[in-house]
Structure 1
């Protein structure tokens, strides 16, 4: 099986953090988003992992260094020189797809049983989740567990089953043919090519795609969503504690080795990366990145970048890498 993961998105809703790192390397619950994804596919029979990346050389180097230290399979990198939508990103890998393919978009994390990939008698799987406001999502309409129609953010939703951004196709080359057809016909949504259009072509031509529910679906696309996902992951087993001096640690938290904590109250729902230093502070429901310094501060619902420095005050902060915030 080949696995395609597009990671070329600019991550504008996660700025300022994506000014200095690729979106997929923004940390949540102790590791980058991409690290959580790699953990979830580890153990699958992967012949090759294909990452679709942007042409920025610094971003590519950061991604390569992280992936090559953590990959569960051989890796190929494909550059997306212009952002023309998710289906266009997938199409860039067409020369390397000669068999079944698993596609995972990196905006969200998931809890799902991927063992059904080997067991399904259908031609493919679209993973879905029931949602409260279906108008915000691309939806599947089913007959039994068979997908019969895909609808993108409808005003009048025909179902509440949202596509989470993960797809498995037994016939990868056929998917590529359908993407190419849709692109030649110019079928876009706001100027971009989306995957539901070629998938609908496959369905209309008799392809049996199954809808499979996930147990969890966690958004990482905005600062608030990232902090919510940090909380959920910590509640569900992604927790770790190290020794702290004259401090109180309230679980669940994820505190990595090399963190300096002194005379502080940490938690619940706090992730702290290596080499961070925290003194005389109270922090909860926050993410503190590598090398950050926090002094005499009370932080909640905050995301503090790498090597950032926060001193004083009561704050809900979103501080980019190598920045300084000082209270009165």
Structure 2
């Protein structure tokens, strides 16, 4: 089995953080989003991973994945040259993934339960060509939605419908046994320019095409998931992941109070400050005379004399003075 991680998205909802890094490389709880995904896949039986990259900053993803995970996975990188949707992204992997069993894990989604649990749920299904992780939600029209029969077999999939056929939202994890049929369906969309929601080639439409050619797809339910493509849910995911540990490390914690859970990178200096709870601080950052909580701080940033909460501060940013809520991009300088 191979894992496919589509990580070519531009990440516009995370501006200004994604002006200088791909969405998958935004850091929370000690590592980039991509690192959390790969770490969770590493706990499964999967040993081959295909990462779809794109755009001028794709090299950051390639370098990170090779540096941190080449000893665990056989890594392949495929480029998506145009941003034409999730279905188009997956279609780019045909030459290296057709014929294999696949786990597709979106590059901006983190899950409360791990991929090993999803594979166990999939393996418990009988006579299926694939399965999709779903969760009941209050506003299904904001998501891809599935309609099932009483056995959990999928009858219909539709992307962001005005009149949802159910409250089962597609969560962003897919397991496909019959990848030949999947790539046939994706090829039909792309080659015939059949675009769906957002004027893009949708993976949901390809899965619906599999059903219409008599393939059997089922669901398994997931617990909470976090769409890390938005600032509020990125911070929520940071809180959840940090909540699994109460440890921290730092080179200089002079006259300061650390309130766990906090993750501090290497060479972090904290002086006369209160940091935590739920704070992730990257390498080389300096925090002085500040109060910082529920915040993600990038590499080599400087905070001085600030009081910030529920904020994201990019790498090499400098923030001085009073503040409450910030979303500061890399290499910024703010004097409040």
Q: TM-score range by the shorter chain?
A: over 0.9
Structure 1 residues 284 and 47, CA, compared in 2 at 3 Å: closer, same or farther? closer
Which residue of 227, 240, 254 corresponds with 2:263? 254
Runs of 4+ more than 6 Å apart: none
Structure 1 residues 89 and 225, CA, compared in 2 at 3 Å: closer, same or farther? same
Which residue of 122, 130, 138 corresponds with 1:132? 138
Structure 1 residues 314 and 83, CA, compared in 2 at 3 Å: closer, same or farther? closer
5+ residue gaps, structure 1? none
- CA shift digits 1:50-83 (9 cap, x unpaired): 1111142xx2321122101222311111111111
Structure 1 residues 138 and 239, CA, compared in 2 at 3 Å: closer, same or farther? farther
| 1:176 maps onto 2:183 in alignment | yes
Task: Determine the structure 1 residue equivalent to 2:108.
Answer: 107
In the TM superposition, residue 119 of structure 1 has moved relative to its aligned partner by: 4.3
Normalising by structure 2, what TM-score?
0.92
Paired residues of 2:143 and 2:170 also in contact (CA < 8 A): yes
Mean alpha-carbon deviation: is it higher for 282-291 or for 178-187?
Answer: 178-187
Paired residues of 1:272 and 1:288 also in contact (CA < 8 A): yes
How far, CA to CA, are the matches of 2:256 and 2:47 in structure 1?
Answer: 47
| 1:206 maps onto 2:214 in alignment | yes
SS of the equivalent of 1:109 reads strand
How far, CA to CA, are the matches of 2:177 and 2:278 in structure 1?
Answer: 40
Count of residue pairs the alignment pairs up: 324
Task: Determine the structure 2 residue equivalent to 1:150.
Answer: 157
- CA shift digits 1:196-249 (9 cap, x unpaired): 1111121122222121111220111122221122122223x0553125221111
Paired residues of 1:7 and 1:52 also in contact (CA < 8 A): yes
Task: Determine the structure 2 residue equivalent to 1:217.
Answer: 225
Structure 1 residues 238 and 208, CA, compared in 2 at 3 Å: closer, same or farther? farther
| 1:232 maps onto 2:205 in alignment | no
Paired residues of 2:118 and 2:220 also in contact (CA < 8 A): no
Paired residues of 1:240 and 1:255 also in contact (CA < 8 A): no
Normalising by structure 1, what TM-score?
0.94
Paired residues of 2:159 and 2:205 also in contact (CA < 8 A): no
Task: Determine the structure 2 residue equivalent to 1:36.
Answer: 36
Which residue of 162, 172, 182 corresponds with 1:165? 172
Paired residues of 1:94 and 1:173 also in contact (CA < 8 A): no
Which residue of 182, 186, 192 corresponds with 1:185? 192
Mean alpha-carbon deviation: is it higher for 145-154 or for 113-122?
Answer: 113-122
SS of the equivalent of 1:285 reads strand
How far, CA to CA, are the matches of 2:60 and 2:277 in structure 1?
Answer: 30
SS of the equivalent of 1:228 reads helix
